[in-house]
Amino acid sequence: MLHRHAAIGRRTALIAAGTLLLSGICSTAAAEPPPAAGPPPSAAQTLGADKPSAEVLRALQRDLGLTEQQAATRLVNEAEAGTRAGRLRLALGERFAGAWLSGATSATLTVATTSKADVAAIQGQGAKAAVVKASLVDLTAVKGKLDKAASRVSSRNTPLWYVDVPNNRVVVEATNREAAAAFVKTAGLDAEQVAVRLTANRPHLMANITGGDAYYIDGTIRCSVGFSVTKGQQQGFATAGHCGDRGARTTGYNRADQGTFQASVFPGEDMAWVAVNTNWAATPDVRGEGGETVQIGGSVEALVGASVCRSGSTTGWHCGTIQQHGTSVSYAEGVVDGLTRTTVCAEPGDSGGPYVSGAQGQGLTSGGTGDCASGGTTFYQPLNPVLGAFGLTLKTASTGAGAPDQEGGGTDSWSAGRVYPVGAAVTHDGVRYQCLQSHQAQGAWTPADTPALWQRM
């Protein structure tokens, strides 16, 4: 974790076809049939990847070494690949071993399986097939044993463990092999079940302190606002749990009274939300390059290998790629599970700030290593679990465009505002659908209108 405020020894601080009545007395013309429905929106159109902001494109060019056209193409490819990967994940079931993107424009989607019989089906979806030994379920189970062992052994010298999907393995990063071996043994695993990578880096929290603007906790610690959210009529924002405890008071970037931490979890997870007073209004904006803003359209989770950009009050707007989901990090203050690892740089004070992939919110800055002068690695707390855990609704560019489409009558009925994981089954307008990509349902994203997110069963 990046060093924290020296005095802090614990955690601190989203027409009707107007009916034209031709009432001329002599008019008896028959009504014309309604126009045929057009094609459903593509994944890129649904997620807003077909119309990226100039700020996102410029940052991708700068940080990933792309041309403007490559950056635009990459965002479209990533959106479309997410839907294809979701379909294949559901089709392969327990044989699924992960999916990832590669290439300058994310043109290659690779989907792994434990059975050669699946190769034709994977290639039929335009993806590259990889036949591997362990399924994602198997790898996750191995990591789960490490998660449980973390509470029984000091993990200061084993600060990181995760599922490395492209290499079909579980990895423990450690400062020395002895510490890694002890951790693996405590977890009840054999040495061949876990790969060890030696590193001198130790992640640390970035808690010095709108998306991306500064705020201050109890007048001392500075963190960064994540995403604007609402809970009923109450407005606020999501941020990192290590920035402040429940009840901690906040002031804004201008030092004006702002709000209060309503809930905070750290360690275990790194999530919190702040309810603001009536002097502050939630917006779908994240601070981009040069003070420009990027608008958030949703929270669809991006794949490993996808591009992602981060905003923070210390270092501003920077981009990189997603390396792993579901990473466990052992900070000095405790273990945090379920983080996503990225190649984006960050520094103290960026904590709590937002990560964005295209127009989709991804997570909140937790910790990392390095800096934005020499480069580094950062970890974010995924956004969807935060929304689900605290019952929050992400503020998006489409919020307020109409009443949410909500269907009652059962717990499996689709409803705007709910967070849906991959594989979730819902009913909408009497039809059953299955979720392809993890997201919080927006009012305009009904299953029938978003084949990028839902597959008819």
Query: Any idea which residues carry the catalytic annotation?
Result: 242, 270, 351
Cα separation of 367 and 387, whole Å? 20
Give CA–CA dist 81/76, Å, rounded: 9
* Non-local CB neighbours of 72 within 8 Å, separated by 6+ positions: 52, 57
CA pair distance 288, 168, nearest whole angstrom:
35
Q: What's the rounded Cα separation, in Å, for the pair 44 and 421?
A: 19
Which letter does DSSP use for residue 118 in this model? Answer: G
Length of the chain: 457
User: Is 89 in contact with 96 (CB distance < 8 Å)?
Assistant: yes
Cα maximum dimension of the chain: 95
Sheet containing 431-435, strands listed edge to edge, beginning at the edge strand earlier in sequence = 425-428, 431-435, 454-456
Cβ contact 367:378 at 8 Å: yes
- Other C-beta atoms lying within 10 Å of the C-beta of residue 403: 8
> What value, to the nearest 5°, has the Cα angle with vertex 445 and ends 443 and 447?
125
DSSP-based three-state secondary structure for 398: coil
Pseudo-torsion of CA 353, 165, 385, 249, nearest 10°?
-30
Helix (H, G, I), strand (E, B) or coil at 241: helix
267 upstream amide cis, omega within 30 of 0: yes
In angstroms, rounded to a whole number, what is the distance separating the alpha carbons of residues 100 and 88?
12
Query: CA-CA distance, 182 to 60, in Å (whole number)?
Result: 41
Given a contact cutoff of 8 angstroms between Cβ atoms, the answer to whether 240 and 381 are in contact is yes
